[in-house]
Structure 1
């Protein structure tokens, strides 16, 4: 009788461990796909940020000159939109929404420059960069940039002066 109980417990334990093993096997099969999507998202964000770099630069030039010297701004806005839609199938909704909000703010700035009203120009310039920096923060949070950086920093010993700079 005791031997039967031991056999039943062993078989039950084997079954439980097999189910747990099956769960982790199925979960780990998705890792390569998850990593691939993550890498593609980073490629898409890189291209989007390159497009935003050119747009930000042009907006700053226009803001300082207080006039549109060429029609380059609309082309740059279209390039940002193209970058958004090229990777929209693998980006989370919040990234797409906030990127479109930044584009909308750039259009508002474009309209304000055309009106020539200094107060409106300043307001839309500030709104554009506020939405842009919110977008940057969303990207950092979404891709875990700060957490990954801290993890990387823990892998090597930092000089004391660098540690004091990073803490502040």
Structure 2
């Protein structure tokens, strides 16, 4: 085998290896773009969902705090809007989130049915259970979208940025004062 044959083999082999590496990088980049888009859609859905859940919470607070509102409330309409939002975006939800949301809706229906009665103890218990489910869902979603970790990271970046800017500003002001004193 001649030297040029060895160089050809090395060249072809390195080209194949580089092509495979490039293909792998391209596939990862494509997955990252899809992951980012899915995340954006999930956050948008969750914002819309929590707007409606907040309306339901307001209705429940009205019902719980004023017995006159037990018959006149918008719970059914709010529940229908929540169901529509969930059905429209169900394919975006991970299974754990779907289960938590289902339990929350079941608790809300139970609270709504119990509040029609007059047993204040049952009403209070159902009200607390509903909010326990609500906050469990909220904590899961915060963990799911990384709210706390992203907030901590943003704060660190902000603090780092401010400390660098502050040091730079101090240096500029110090030089300006020194120049002024020297004149």
Instruction: Calculate the TM-score normalised by the size of structure 2.
Output: 0.76
Asked if 2 retains the 8 angstrom alpha-carbon contact of 1:101 and 1:131, the reply is: yes
RMSD between aligned alpha carbons?
Answer: 2.4
Q: Write the distance in 1 (CA, Å) between the matches of 2:14 and 2:142.
A: 44
Structure of greater Rg: 2
Q: Who is 1:112 aligned against?
A: 114
- Please show how residues 70-85 of structure 1 align to structure 2 within 5 Å: 70-85=72-87
Q: Write the distance in 2 (CA, Å) between the matches of 1:130 and 1:47.
A: 21
Q: Write the distance in 1 (CA, Å) between the matches of 2:23 and 2:30.
A: 11
Which deviates more, 14-23 or 139-148? 14-23
Asked if 2 retains the 8 angstrom alpha-carbon contact of 1:81 and 1:103, the reply is: no
Q: Who is 2:134 aligned against?
A: 132
Q: Write the distance in 2 (CA, Å) between the matches of 1:152 and 1:6.
A: 51
Q: Write the distance in 1 (CA, Å) between the matches of 2:105 and 2:142.
A: 19
Q: Write the distance in 2 (CA, Å) between the matches of 1:5 and 1:145.
A: 55
Which deviates more, 44-53 or 31-40? 31-40
Q: Who is 1:57 aligned against?
A: 58
Asked if 2 retains the 8 angstrom alpha-carbon contact of 1:80 and 1:103, the reply is: no
Equivalences, count = 160
List per-residue Cα deviations over 1:58-110 (Å, max 9, x = no partner): 10110111351414111112221122112112121222221121111111001
Instruction: Report deviation, 1:34.
Output: 2.0
- Please show how residues 21-36 of structure 1 align to structure 2 within 5 Å: 21-36=22-37
Asked if 1 retains the 8 angstrom alpha-carbon contact of 2:59 and 2:73, the reply is: no
2:46 matched to 1:45? Answer: yes
Secondary structure at 1:155 match in 2: helix
Q: Who is 1:98 aligned against?
A: 100
Runs of 4+ that moved beyond 6 A: 3-10
Instruction: Report deviation, 1:27.
Output: 1.2
1:122 to 124, 131, 141: 124
Gaps of 5+ in 2: 163-183
Q: Write the distance in 2 (CA, Å) between the matches of 1:139 and 1:33.
A: 20
Q: Write the distance in 1 (CA, Å) between the matches of 2:57 and 2:130.
A: 9
Structure with bigger helix share is 2
Which deviates more, 47-56 or 10-19? 10-19
Gaps of 5+ in 1: 160-168
